[in-house]
Structure 1
Amino acid sequence: MRIAHVSDSHLTNPEGVATSVGTTVALLRAAGHQVVLHCPGPLSRRRRRAGEVPSVAVPTRPYRLAPPRPPAAPVDVVHVHTTGPLGVAGLRWAAARGVPTVLTWHTDLIAYAAHYPEVPIGAAYAGLRLGLPWRVRDLWALARPGPGRQARLAALGECLLAHTSVLVAPSAKTAAMMAPMAGRTPIVVLPTPIAAPDADADDRRRLRARLGIAPDVPVLLAVGRATAEKNPELLLAAFAQVRRELPAARLVLLGARRHRLAVRRAARRLGVADALHLLRPVPRHEVGAHYRAADVLAFASATDTQGLVLGEAEAYGLPVAMVDAALAERPGTGTTRPIAEPTAAAFGALLTRLLTERDLRATVIHDGREAVTAWSGSRYLAELTALYATLPPVTAADATTAAPPGPAPAGGAIPGARRGDGATRPARTSP
């Protein structure tokens, strides 16, 4: 099968979209499919690989910006992962040629729009390119927080799905979030699988020695950005609660590139600055050592669409504590992860229990490993290729745009709304 994957996130970017795209492309290629990945690449033609588009780095961001260059060769399926210039070009190109199109929804645009000005800017660009009849007042509404922005982002979601044969949601949470705007577009839940970790028992000893942490000291690990949408304030406040019971405990926050000063200030205010290890992002092959060196993964975010770090931690035998009940169910087995209310007291109490209660730790670790094994790369690949094989084409006539945006829909039926009422209407749901 000839498949074009399109992503505005380059593969070296240390974030979930790049990880998911890289995993999917590698599995398809290993199975013998002809896959071209269209994504930002170096400016120099000599350094670019097939499918990469020349791009420039975005100041203060780990992104690269590429022009809207669509696939050039005939393909059987276009699989789009982002809604930036490259993703929108891929959707328009596929619709004009009647090529079946898959869109994976990796990002909660409503939640991220409150923290990243590039999200409303990108939404305005995507809407205009896809034919939404936006006027100056609509663009102005996108630039300002509130119901007006939410209504425009909802309209954009409807428009994007109108250009799509099937929407892939990486979790049931994301499927429910997108159901109000799906229209006739089916939604399939298909989480990204987690690869089995390399065995190196010395990682724990070496990394702890490098960080100056004794072998018997309890260590919490958080992996990801330290920006507001990841809720570092709750993480630090819960850690302060843990320290009341376990004064020697340490917190390793891996992946903090921005807002480091704000995190340190919060840590000082909460009295945990001396026990915080604030680390910048590391290459993918070095992340596993940090999982091995820790005792519990602390996941304070409520804005993730899948939370790949949850499965990664479980693959390394690390119990997970989290506050997002919508992501509690593990792919593969249907077991659930330990959940706390999003308060410092409740989250801190759960973290403390996972650090100290042997039987609870053993159960959580076992269930996590079972789920990682059950939702394997081969199972994911079989589901994905079966989905590709049954896709109907999307023609230019079918890809009609959504109605002009009006007031926010009643009942909060917008991207980012927390719904668990079974509104999703998947053609096939896995696992």
Structure 2
Amino acid sequence: MRILIVTDAWEPQVNGVVRTLKSTRRELEAMGHTVDLLTPLEFQTVPCPTYPEIRLSLFPGGKVRRRIEAFRPDALHIATEGPLGLAARRYALRHDLPFTTAYHTRFPEYVQARFAIPLAWTYRFLRWFHGPARAVMAPTPVVLDDLRRYHITNGVLWTRGVDLDVFTAQRANVLNTAHPIFLYVGRVAVEKNVEAFLQLDLPGTKWVVGDGPALAGLKLRYPNVNYLGVLKQPDLAKVYASADVFVFPSRTDTFGLVLLEALASGLPVAAYPVTGPIDVLGDSPAGVMHEDLREACLEALRIDRATARAHAERFSWRAASEQFLAHLRPLPTASVAGAPNVSAPPDHAKAASAVTHRAGE
């Protein structure tokens, strides 16, 4: 099956969306599918206001059309609501092509946190964007409930995984500060609520790994905290393995892949009892969720690292990618404008039929 994924989130960004798409492509290709990604790397871009590492593609419509028609996908997936996603959506509607979308992040909550724009306004845009999709893939049941609350009713579950070969319960000591070591990994931005962690009165030392618009200000206000930039996965795995507790202060994440990475590295989690941690941890003893984040951090120190690793082993990228595949909606034969009016190759037709069957149609 030939699958085209359109995304405004891509390298050099380092975030959960990019990791999810990379891992999904890897697994789909291992299953024998052909996957192409249409990303901002192919376009002239400008930095997103307040998020300069996010690049917004300029006037993408013509090239998006040509790429779709040249690739002739059997299925079209629109991963983000940015300029490329809008252009692909417009093309699909104009040519009556079925497509799926995804809801990766709590975009309305982020916009409200940064610009004080009411949630209802942004959710109205999301209803418009995702409404024509055959399915909106969301990472957790709680997020699906949130979408339904705002009348986005075509949601389906697409869970997440972790690379258990990279993130392991290894012996490492790359953080040479006093124990216990409390660690945050992720974007350093206001919506991630990192300052709630840095304000805590905790024994030992604190580390922050990542970059973002709030980093410079936090460094000034909390000079006793240790900071690292963005790390490649093998180096990040050693950092996880060197810490004692992973602290996840965000109240707005839809899932939080870093939670799984930490757990796979044998690192217990401390978090608020909100969407993301609730969906990853459930009732597992691998972490502590508490409205008093300091209490959660101190209790998490008592958790055995083997317990954290065992919980992470329940999540695999292969299972998540099979779920993604089942939600796709194959395009009718020769439905892409400019494609010759011939039958799809047998292997593509079989793949499309299999996905349709698995989706319950």
Give the TM-score normalised by structure 1: 0.69
Q: Residues of 2 paired with 1:330 and 1:177: CA distance? A: 14
Residue equivalent to 1:4: 4
Q: Which of 159, 168, 172 is residue 137 of structure 2 equivalent to?
A: 168
Q: List aligned pairs for 1:320-399, cutoff 5 A.
A: 320-330=269-279, 335=284, 337-341=287-291, 346-355=292-301, 357=302, 361-362=303-304, 365-388=305-328
Is 1:38 the counterpart of 2:2? The answer is no
Is 1:109 the counterpart of 2:78? The answer is no
Is 1:213 the counterpart of 2:177? The answer is yes
Q: Which of 208, 214, 223 is residue 259 of structure 1 equivalent to?
A: 214
Residue equivalent to 2:56: 65
Q: Which secondary structure state, in structure 2, belongs to the residue aligned with residue 325 of structure 1?
A: coil
**CA displacement, residues 136-173 of structure 1 (integer Å, 9 cap, x when unaligned):** xxxxxxxxx35xx4333122111112221101111223
Does structure 2 conserve the Cα–Cα contact (< 8 Å) formed by 1:115 and 1:229? yes
Tell me which moved more, 367-376 or 90-99: 367-376
Q: Residues of 2 paired with 1:374 and 1:391: CA distance? A: 33
Is 1:24 the counterpart of 2:24? The answer is yes
Q: Which amino acid aligns with 1:383?
A: Q
Q: List aligned pairs for 1:123-272, cutoff 5 A.
A: 145-146=116-117, 149-183=118-152, 185-198=153-166, 204-205=172-173, 207-208=174-175, 212-213=176-177, 217-238=179-200, 240=201, 242-243=202-203, 249-267=204-222
Q: Residues of 2 paired with 1:352 and 1:392: CA distance? A: 56
**CA displacement, residues 405-431 of structure 1 (integer Å, 9 cap, x when unaligned):** xxxxxxxxxxxxxxxxxxxxxx98xxx
Q: Residues of 2 paired with 1:231 and 1:317: CA distance? A: 24
Could you say if the C-alpha distance between residues 392 and 233 of structure 1 is closer, same or farther in structure 2, counting changes exceeding 3 Å?
farther
* Residue correspondences, number: 328
Q: Which secondary structure state, in structure 1, belongs to the residue aligned with residue 300 of structure 2?
A: helix
- Shift of residue 226, structure 1, vs aligned partner: 2.3
Does structure 2 conserve the Cα–Cα contact (< 8 Å) formed by 1:226 and 1:257? yes
Q: Which amino acid aligns with 2:37?
A: L
Question: Structure 2: 5+ residue runs without aligned partners?
Answer: 336-357
Does structure 2 conserve the Cα–Cα contact (< 8 Å) formed by 1:311 and 1:368? no
Q: Residues of 2 paired with 1:8 and 1:262: CA distance? A: 27
Q: Residues of 1 paired with 2:5 and 2:281: CA distance? A: 25
Q: Which secondary structure state, in structure 1, belongs to the residue aligned with residue 328 of structure 2?
A: helix
Q: Residues of 2 paired with 1:115 and 1:332: CA distance? A: 26
Q: Residues of 1 paired with 2:74 and 2:168: CA distance? A: 41
Does structure 1 conserve the Cα–Cα contact (< 8 Å) formed by 2:240 and 2:267? yes
Does structure 2 conserve the Cα–Cα contact (< 8 Å) formed by 1:102 and 1:166? yes
**CA displacement, residues 51-91 of structure 1 (integer Å, 9 cap, x when unaligned):** x4454555861122223242232212111111111011111
- The ranges of structure 1 where at least 4 consecutive aligned residues each deviate by more than 4 angstroms after the TM superposition are 56-60, 199-203, 330-334, 389-393
Q: Residues of 2 paired with 1:387 and 1:180: CA distance? A: 22
Does structure 1 conserve the Cα–Cα contact (< 8 Å) formed by 2:13 and 2:53? yes
Could you say if the C-alpha distance between residues 186 and 332 of structure 1 is closer, same or farther in structure 2, counting changes exceeding 3 Å?
farther
Identity across the alignment (%):
25
Q: Which amino acid aligns with 1:298?
A: V
- Shift of residue 22, structure 1, vs aligned partner: 1.1
Tell me which moved more, 54-63 or 186-195: 54-63
- Shift of residue 227, structure 1, vs aligned partner: 1.8
Residue equivalent to 2:248: 299
- Shift of residue 265, structure 1, vs aligned partner: 3.9
Could you say if the C-alpha distance between residues 172 and 368 of structure 1 is closer, same or farther in structure 2, counting changes exceeding 3 Å?
farther
Q: Residues of 2 paired with 1:251 and 1:174: CA distance? A: 30
Does structure 2 conserve the Cα–Cα contact (< 8 Å) formed by 1:332 and 1:375? no
- Shift of residue 390, structure 1, vs aligned partner: 7.7
Residue equivalent to 1:75: 73
Q: List aligned pairs for 1:274-293, cutoff 5 A.
A: 274=224, 276-293=225-242
Q: Which amino acid aligns with 1:7?
A: T
Q: Residues of 2 paired with 1:220 and 1:372: CA distance? A: 19
Tell me which moved more, 325-334 or 82-91: 325-334
Is 1:94 the counterpart of 2:62? The answer is no
Q: Residues of 1 paired with 2:332 and 2:161: CA distance? A: 25
- Shift of residue 237, structure 1, vs aligned partner: 1.9
Q: Residues of 1 paired with 2:127 and 2:266: CA distance? A: 40
- Shift of residue 278, structure 1, vs aligned partner: 1.6
Does structure 2 conserve the Cα–Cα contact (< 8 Å) formed by 1:333 and 1:371? no
Q: Which amino acid aligns with 1:266?
A: R
Q: Residues of 2 paired with 1:367 and 1:186: CA distance? A: 36
* RMSD, aligned CA: 3.0
- Shift of residue 115, structure 1, vs aligned partner: 4.5
Q: Which secondary structure state, in structure 2, belongs to the residue aligned with residue 222 of structure 1?
A: strand
Does structure 2 conserve the Cα–Cα contact (< 8 Å) formed by 1:236 and 1:266? no
Q: Residues of 2 paired with 1:290 and 1:61: CA distance? A: 26
